[in-house]
């Protein structure tokens, strides 16, 4: 009502340009990240700050939260959404596939007879027994292939020129037991072939259980149920700066443990205690996980509380406390026992003409966190900050959106001192934030970035992003995408610049094709503290089929 009142006043008083909150896609919130992540999945992006490539600001809390997909509030952002921020008005038939498959909203999709037919829809919410049976079963999944060509990346084995293929199959079964319980199972097979180099930990995970949990309703409060979940589960929160399933990797990051979640129309509350399970969560060595049974690493405990406050429009506020306890500390790696306190704010404003037509949209997102604790007997004092500001011209051809991003992740000022100032990025969606070529992590890093998004056709999205990278402090290491130190201490702060170009064709929610090309021009740090190498490049073509 408030928005309608404002618009009415704007129409009467033509001197005002009404600006108010625009309804936002739950799962499509845009985190501040580089323009590479959301394209992966082919999900439609939603308008947000530089999120696409720079910083996608996902909606809210983790998508696994609501066991009933029909009542799920889509406040989190998928990888695709993170990289491609689509300011266009919401479609009448929203994509039922979400960043976490157990949050899919086929119930809402199928209830609308005007929605187009989708492959596999007849296997969603099938009653077991007669039509009034309290038991329903949904079956679905995904097939994905990506061909990669890369040279001179900062990866184990030194600078190389190589290409390889990645293949992934996901299959899920979702059993709903009335409105008080749920059993969910999802398997995954990820493989690599035609590769010259040994696979990395995120390339291969053969025939394993990705998700397997039980949800039980504990209570009803404030018009919404409170749920308890136990088992293996993926997690996705906020803009995915700190907690993400990392869908770009051939494997997907998962955890095992307990979670309580309660989501109302205005507040989402999640509390969890888990252990990381597969190599996507950092478990090593790969030889024990590629063809073996995944199992949780009980020496690492990841727990926290994540709250999201919703306004009913695009404005939202996240507040969170996270605790990572790693009992096998690794030298020169940020780990130990770390507590993270942080928050995120996101909003957008519509600018209208005298005829009350939206002509432009401003979007803004900012997030920051402080980290404290103990690491190798040193006191931890670290943090990160990210801000994104974007502007969309809705009446121009291709609906261009220009956005800018700034990211800061602290580094260690004195390696021989009594404190450790290197920020631990925990379990991030790094691919979407710090360059699609996947050279860097958000530790000891400055990132200034510009991103341009365009939509030349209804089913085609284009993204370009340019990054300037520097070390935040000279005395700390440069860290690669896995969080491992690269090269030697000291040296120049100039890391280099990266240009990312991405194109996505989304035929429908079932099928999309994506291609990307990236260049990384190394700065003075490379060649002095790292063996010299020529410009790094990466080209990929990815095809995804969902059912």
Provide the terminal-to-terminal Cα distance of the chain, rounded to the nearest Å. Answer: 39
> Which is more confident, 435 or 157?
435
315 vs 26, 412, 462, 488, CA distance in Å?
11, 35, 26, 43
pLDDT score recorded for residue 29: 36
**pLDDT at 11 > cutoff 90:** no
| Percent of the chain whose predicted confidence (pLDDT) is above 70 | 81
Residue among 280, 420, 306 at smallest CA distance from 367: 306
pLDDT score recorded for residue 145: 98
**pLDDT at 93 > cutoff 90:** no
Determine how β-strand 419-420 pairs with β-strand 378-393.
Answer: parallel
pLDDT tens digits, one per residue of 125-179: 999 988 778 899 999 999 999 999 999 998 766 668 899 999 999 999 999 999 9
pLDDT tens digits, one per residue of 513-527: 999 999 999 999 998
pLDDT score recorded for residue 282: 77
CB 44 within 8 A of CB 29: no
pLDDT tens digits, one per residue of 227-248: 999 999 999 999 999 999 999 9
Identify the sign of the CA torsion 251, 297, 369, 335: negative
pLDDT score recorded for residue 9: 37
pLDDT band at 265 (very low <50, low <70, confident <90, very high): very high
Identify the weakest region by mean pLDDT among 66-80, 92-106, 181-195, 467-481.
66-80
Q: What does the alpha-carbon distance between residue 232 and residue 9 come to, in Å, rounded to a whole number?
A: 52
pLDDT score recorded for residue 108: 86
pLDDT band at 366 (very low <50, low <70, confident <90, very high): very high
pLDDT score recorded for residue 114: 85
Paired with 404 in beta bridges are 389, 450
Which residues, 6 or more positions from 257, have their beta carbon under 8 angstroms from its beta carbon?
230, 233, 272, 273, 274, 275, 296, 303
Other beta carbons within 10 angstroms of residue 87's beta carbon come to: 26
pLDDT score recorded for residue 200: 87
Structural domains in the chain, sorted by start: 218-546 (2.40.160.100)
pLDDT score recorded for residue 189: 97
Other beta carbons within 10 angstroms of residue 180's beta carbon come to: 14
> Which is more confident, 201 or 34?
201
Other beta carbons within 10 angstroms of residue 391's beta carbon come to: 16
Residue among 109, 175, 101 at smallest CA distance from 136: 175
pLDDT score recorded for residue 92: 52
Residue among 518, 496, 516, 494 at smallest CA distance from 504: 516
In three-state secondary structure terms, 461 is: strand
Sequence-separated contacts (24+) of 91-95 with Cβ below 8 Å: 91/44, 94/25, 94/44, 95/43, 95/44, 95/509
Here the tokens at position 10 are: 């704007």
**pLDDT at 1 > cutoff 90:** no
Average pLDDT over residues 346-353: 95
Lookup result for tokens 């625009």: 22
Determine how β-strand 511-522 pairs with β-strand 494-508.
Answer: antiparallel
In three-state secondary structure terms, 269 is: strand
pLDDT band at 196 (very low <50, low <70, confident <90, very high): confident
Q: What does the alpha-carbon distance between residue 132 and residue 396 come to, in Å, rounded to a whole number?
A: 50
């Amino acid at each position: 009502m408030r928005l309608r009142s404002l618009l009415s006043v704007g129409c009467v008083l033509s001197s005002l340009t009404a600006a108010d909150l625009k309804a936002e896609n739950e799962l499509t919130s845009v985190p501040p990240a580089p323009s590479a992540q959301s394209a992966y999945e082919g999900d439609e992006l939603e308008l947000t700050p530089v999120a696409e490539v720079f910083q996608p600001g996902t909606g809210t809390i983790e998508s696994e939260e609501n066991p009933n997909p029909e009542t799920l509030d889509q406040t989190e952002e998928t990888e695709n959404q993170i990289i491609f921020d689509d300011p266009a008005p919401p479609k009448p038939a929203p994509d039922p596939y979400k960043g976490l498959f157990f949050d899919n909203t086929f119930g809402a999709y199928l209830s609308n007879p005007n929605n187009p037919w989708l492959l596999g829809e007849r296997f969603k919410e099938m009653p077991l027994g007669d039509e009034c049976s309290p038991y329903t079963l949904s079956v679905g999944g995904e097939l994905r292939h990506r061909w990669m060509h890369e040279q001179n990346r900062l990866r184990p084995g030194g600078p190389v020129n190589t290409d390889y293929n990645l293949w992934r199959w996901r299959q899920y079964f979702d059993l709903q037991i009335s409105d008080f319980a749920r059993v969910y199972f999802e398997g995954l097979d990820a493989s690599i072939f035609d590769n010259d180099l040994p696979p990395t930990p995120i390339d291969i995970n053969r025939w394993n259980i990705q998700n397997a949990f039980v949800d039980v309703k504990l209570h009803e409060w404030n018009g919404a149920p409170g749920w308890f979940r136990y088992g293996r589960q993926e997690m996705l929160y906020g803009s995915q700066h700190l907690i993400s399933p990392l869908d770009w990797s051939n494997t997907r990051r998962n955890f095992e443990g307990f979670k309580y979640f309660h989501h109302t129309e205005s507040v989402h509350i999640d509390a969890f205690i888990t252990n990381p399970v597969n190599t996507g969560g950092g478990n090593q060595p790969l030889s024990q996980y590629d063809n073996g049974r995944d199992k949780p690493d009980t020496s690492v405990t990841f727990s926290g509380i994540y709250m999201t406050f919703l306004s009913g429009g695009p404005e939202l506020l996240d507040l969170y406390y996270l605790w990572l306890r790693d009992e096998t500390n690794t030298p020169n790696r940020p780990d130990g026992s770390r507590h993270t306190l942080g928050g995120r704010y996101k909003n957008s404003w519509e600018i209208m003409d005298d005829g009350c037509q939206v002509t432009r949209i401003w979007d803004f997102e900012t997030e920051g966190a402080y980290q404290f604790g103990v690491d190798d007997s040193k006191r931890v004092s670290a943090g990160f900050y990210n801000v994104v500001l974007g502007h969309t011209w809705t009446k121009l051809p291709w609906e261009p959106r220009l956005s800018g991003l700034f990211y800061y992740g602290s580094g260690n000022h004195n390696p021989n001192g009594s404190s450790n100032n290197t920020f631990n990025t925990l379990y991030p969606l790094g691919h979407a934030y710090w360059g699609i070529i996947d050279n860097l992590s958000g530790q000891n890093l400055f990132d200034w970035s510009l991103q341009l998004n365009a939509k030349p056709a209804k089913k085609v999205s284009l993204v370009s992003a340019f990054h300037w990278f520097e070390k935040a402090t000279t005395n700390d290491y440069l860290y690669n995408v896995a969080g491992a130190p690269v090269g030697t201490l000291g040296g120049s702060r100039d890391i280099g610049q990266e240009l990312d170009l991405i194109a996505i064709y989304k035929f429908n929610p079932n099928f999309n094709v994506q291609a990307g090309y990236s260049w990384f021009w190394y700065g003075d740090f490379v060649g002095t503290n790292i063996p010299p190498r020529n410009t790094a490049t990466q080209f990929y073509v990815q095809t995804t089929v969902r059912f």
